[in-house]
């Protein structure tokens, strides 16, 4: 009898102790959860604010460059500190193909030059509209957080005419330009093209629509001997007549009103002078 009472009392005491612990636990849990969310919220604010803090000595240097140029001098920067030796009186846009350098961005802005992202993505990935939108959104967010002035789309992948990738690339340039212009007023969207329209390296793009969609084309008039099929390899990297033919074709066929990477009037003057010199030397 006594043993039974003790056992019962022991059980009752055990139950009471457990209920007390549970009550305390339930009381502490909401406080712990609230503190966790509060700390998470603070850390999120810290990360966001930290990402958007201007790294330049003068805050105004983090403002995007909006000035339009009639004549563009592009530099493709691949990293390091070579940019300190650039002739900044000539440079108008720096396309960053290397690691992001805040010091470069600040210096370029102090000289009135744009700094733009590199844009490259497998075309098979952006055939889907949602994937394409996500890629553009990511690039715009990156440009904003790094105080950059646009994007240079450098896609040099083989594309069959009228294929899904063909139309996806055209849409990518158009949608990128619209989104960048809306989200970063005054931003620049450029697209790199081969020296000729004739499906160089099987890059059969819709050049006319792309030219109409973006701010300017960068004509890659170099390494033009990529399609050598015979034994003769001793030739110019970018033969002058071949380069001129490709550039003139773009000037007059694609869109005479679009900006190119060179001043059309000056280029035509040079071309006429070249033709005159050629005739005189015959």
Catalytic residues: 156
Q: Going along 25-131, which residue ranges are E strands?
A: 74-77, 93-96, 114-119
Cβ of 269: how many Cβ atoms within 10 Å? 11
Which residues does residue 76 pair with via DSSP β-bridges, in sequence order? 95
SS3 192: strand
**For residues 164-203, b (16+ Cβ closer than 10 Å) or e, as one string?**
ebbebbbbbbbbbbebbeeebeebbbbbbbbbbbeebeeb
SS3 206: coil
Query: Taking the chain, what is the end-to-end CA distance rounded to the nearest angstrom?
Result: 131
Q: Which two tokens stand for residue 250?
A: 């773009």
Chain centre to alpha carbon of residue 175: 13
Check: CB of residue 227 under 8 Å from CB of residue 200: yes
Phi, psi of 243 (to 5 degrees): -65, -45
């Amino acid at each position: 009898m006594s043993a039974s009472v003790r056992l019962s009392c022991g059980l009752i005491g055990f139950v009471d102790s457990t209920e007390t612990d549970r009550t305390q636990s339930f009381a502490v849990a909401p406080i712990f959860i609230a503190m966790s969310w509060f700390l998470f919220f603070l850390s999120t604010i810290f990360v966001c604010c930290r990402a958007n803090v201007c790294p330049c000595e003068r805050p105004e240097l983090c403002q995007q460059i909006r000035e339009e140029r009639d004549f563009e001098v592009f530099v493709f920067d691949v990293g390091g500190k070579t940019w300190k030796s650039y002739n900044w009186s000539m440079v108008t846009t720096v396309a960053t193909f290397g690691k992001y350098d805040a010091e470069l961005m600040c210096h370029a802005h102090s000289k009135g030059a744009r700094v733009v992202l590199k844009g490259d993505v497998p075309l098979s990935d952006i055939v889907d509209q949602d994937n394409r939108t996500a890629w553009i959104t990511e690039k715009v967010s990156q440009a904003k957080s790094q105080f950059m002035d646009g994007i240079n789309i450098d896609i040099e992948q083989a594309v069959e005419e009228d294929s899904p990738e063909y139309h996806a690339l055209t849409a990518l340039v158009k949608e990128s330009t619209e989104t960048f212009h809306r989200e970063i007023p005054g931003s620049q969207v450029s697209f790199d093209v081969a020296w000729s329209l004739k499906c160089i390296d099987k890059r059969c793009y819709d050049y006319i629509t792309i030219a109409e969609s973006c701010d300017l084309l960068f004509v890659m008039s170099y390494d033009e001997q990529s399609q050598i099929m015979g034994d003769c390899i001793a030739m110019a990297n970018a033969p002058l007549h071949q380069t001129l033919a490709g550039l003139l074709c773009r000037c007059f066929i694609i869109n005479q009103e679009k900006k190119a990477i060179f001043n059309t009037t000056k280029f035509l003057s040079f071309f006429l002078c070249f033709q005159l010199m050629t005739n005189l030397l015959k």
